[in-house]
Every structure is written in C-alpha cells, then in structure tokens.
Structure 1
C-alpha cells in the first residue's frame, strides 16, 4: 500500500508539466514572501485534492486559478507549520545559543520537533478535508484517531519513506550534475586554465536552476500528494 502511494505520487507530479513549471517559477522565487505563499497555497490544493482521491486513481494536478483562495490557503499552511514547529525550534536554538550546548534542552527540542513534524504531516490534510478550518489542524484527538486508524507503523513508515526518497533524489541530482561539470572542467583545463572558473560558475547556476525550478517543485508536489493519500486511508 505504501509503495502504491509513492508510485501514484510520482506519476501524479508529472501528469501536467505546465503546472509543474508554473510551480517551479514560484519555487525559484521562493525567497520572496508572495511567491512563497502561493507556492504553499498550490501544494495545499494538491493535499486537498488527494484527501478525496483513490490511490492510482489517475488524478491530475489541480489548476492554477482562484488566486485569492490560493493565497489564503498558503497563509493557513504556513501558519499551521509555524505554530507546530515554533516551540521545538526555539528550544533547539536556546540550547546552543549560549555558546555551550545544553544537551538536555537540545534532546528535548529534537524529540519535540520529531513529534510535531509527524503530527503536522496529518494536520494539514485534516484541515483541507474539513473546509479549510484552522481549528481542525489542532484537533489533536481527531488527528491521533486518524493516525491510529491508518496504523502508527504504516503512518511513520510512510513519512520516513517520503523524506528518504526526497533526500536520495536530491543527492542523485546534485551528484550527476556535479559529475558532468567536473568532466567538463577537466576537459576545459586541458585546453585553457582560465576556462575552469567559467565552467564551475556555469555548473553552479545550472545546478541551482534545476534544483529550484524542477526538482524542488516536483518533490513538493510528490510530498503533498503522499500526505493527502495517507490521510485518505484513515479518514
């Protein structure tokens, strides 16, 4: 079942290339607040669609429209993550900010961060499935009931798998592009030493472009789809 979710999510993210490219534009300018809000607003839309979907049901990514609602949804998405993660992040920062590490505080912060990331992973779909109600994202008894219905082992395994797949794909892309430009750099060095710096700079630009314009939006859509589908198993 978990493998089916991954398969469906990989296929889903590539079913409408035009939408993936539009999401890539938002990802590329994600350092700016407005594009970032729309970026998460669209991924929230993917989550919402997926909570109502069947695995391997042939869904296509939602349209880029109703931008006012997309903006509001993006804000809600960010607010929920902020509320869930702010306390563990503060604890982790406080444990190292004094110059000497407070290992007890750091451990508490890390454990709390793991728990919060696991809960927010189901909180976003639950909000999407309940008329976009912020209150639903913090209905802890309902959230844990849904996780229990899915199965704690299956739920945690799905979450770990989603993140491992994302990390591995990122590493592979970086290694492949770095290897290509390393070969080009060696070839250029044999012709002209002054060209090596230009090749290195070009490689960095292309790597960042591919990561932010293609890989990151693809993985974001993949992760959002996985979150919605795993939620649908327990709802």
Structure 2
C-alpha cells in the first residue's frame, strides 16, 4: 500500500509542468509572505483532494482559482504547523534551562535525556500535525479538527504508527534522492562541458557558472514544486488508509 501511495504521488505531481512553474515563481517571491501563504494554501488543496480521492486515481492537479481562499487556507496551515512545533520546543527549553542550572556530568545527562524526550515528542507532534491537516481537510476545513487529539490518535492507530513513520521515512529518502540525482546530473553535464572547453583552451568559468544557474532554476521552478506536491499528495493518501 505504501508503494502504491508513492507511485500515485510521483505520477500525480508530474501532470502539469505549468503548475510547477507557477509555484516556482511564487517561491522566488515567498519573502513577501503573501506568495508563501499561497504556496502553503495550494499544497493544502493537494491534501484536500487526496483525502477525498483514492490511490491510483485520475485526479488532476488543483487549479489556482479563489486565491483569497487559498491564502486563508495557507494561514490556517501555518498556524497548525507552528502550534504543533511549540510543544517539543518548550520541552527542549525546559531541559536546557534545568541543565544550565546544574554542573558537570549531571548537566550533560539531563541534556541527553532532554534531547531524547524532545525527539520522541517531536516525532509524535509531527505525525499529529500532518494528520491534523488531513483531518481538517477531510472535515471541510474545520479548523478545530486539526487539534482534535483524540480523533487524530484514532486515525494514526487505524493506519498504524509504524506504517506512518515508515511512510515518512520513505518520503524523506525519495525527496533527497530526487533532489540529489537531478542536481548531480546537471552538474555532471556542465562539468563535462567545462572540462571539454578547458581542454580546447576555452575559459570554462562561464560554463560552470551557467551550470550553477541552470541547477538553481531547475530546483526552484521544477524540482522543488514537484517534491512539494509529491509530499502533500502522499500525506493525503496516507490518511485515506484509515477511512
């Protein structure tokens, strides 16, 4: 089932390169915040479509209409993400303060224990946050559903805690592999061109600079948006495993 999710999400994310470019343009201007919330809102639409769909379906990518609603959804998503991050951060700060008020080996021991507890809480909070977004989408954007801990625990238990963690580990690996492979291929091509030019007595600096620029453009306008949609689609489909 997990492999089916990956397959669906990989194919789904490549359905419309124009959408990827639009998301890329928004990411370039994300420092203005408005585009950043639109990106987050769009990814939420991908999740929303997934939780109401099926694996290996024929869903098209969501459109870029109703930008005000997309912006509002983006704000809601960010609030949910920040709320769940606060818990492990507070726990870490508490242990850091305690460790700072004692000395020697006890301080180190407290920090090690604190880091382990923070890591465990962070993993649980992350799963809750991701399923919270899906739960909110499944219930027509009901904000409170993102924080319904009892229901979220039931959702994750239905899917399986191990299956959820395994799915996210797979997402991290796939994301890293795609990003690294694409970057490596472009880098290798321009390295070959650059060395060939150098052998022929041509200044290779311009070739290497072009390679760096092209790598940046491909990452911003294609790879980054593709992986963003891939992860959002996968999260939404994972949620459907308990329905």
2:9 is aligned to: 9
Q: Find the partner of 2:188 among 179, 187, 210.
A: 179
Maintained 8 Å contact 1:91/1:106: no
Alignment of 1:68-87 (within 5 A): 68-87=68-87
- One of 117, 125, 131 as aligned partner of 2:134: 125
* TM-score for both structures, normalised by structure 1: 0.89
Give the length in aligned residue pairs. Answer: 232
Name the Cα RMSD after superposition. 2.3
Contact 1:41 1:73 in 2 (8 A): yes
Aligned to 2:171: 162
From 122, 142, 151, the counterpart of 2:151:
142
Change (3 A) 1:90 1:173: farther
Determine which structure has more spread, i.e. the larger CA radius of gyration. 2
Partner of 2:231: 223
2:35 counterpart SS class: helix
Q: CA deviation at 1:136?
A: 0.9
Question: What stretches of structure 1 of length at least 5 have no aligned partner?
Answer: none
| CA apart distance, 1:203 | 1.7
Whether the 8 Å contact between 1:125 and 1:227 is mirrored in structure 2 is yes
SS in 2 for 1:231: helix
CA distance in 1, matches of 2:188, 2:92: 36
Residue 143 of structure 1 and its aligned partner are, at CA, apart by 0.6
User: Gaps spanning 5+ residues in structure 2: where?
Assistant: 101-106
2:103 matched residue in structure 1: none
Matched, 1:45 2:45: yes
What is the CA deviation profile of residues 106-152 of structure 1, one whole-angstrom value per residue up to 9, with x for unaligned ones?
33333322222222121111111112122111111101101111122
Secondary structure of 1:31's counterpart equals helix
Determine the C-alpha separation between the residues in 2 that align with 1:89 and 1:171.
30
Sort the Cα spacing of 1:188 and 1:112 in 2 relative to 1 into closer, same or farther, 3 A.
farther
The alignment's TM-score, normalised by the length of structure 2, stands at 0.86
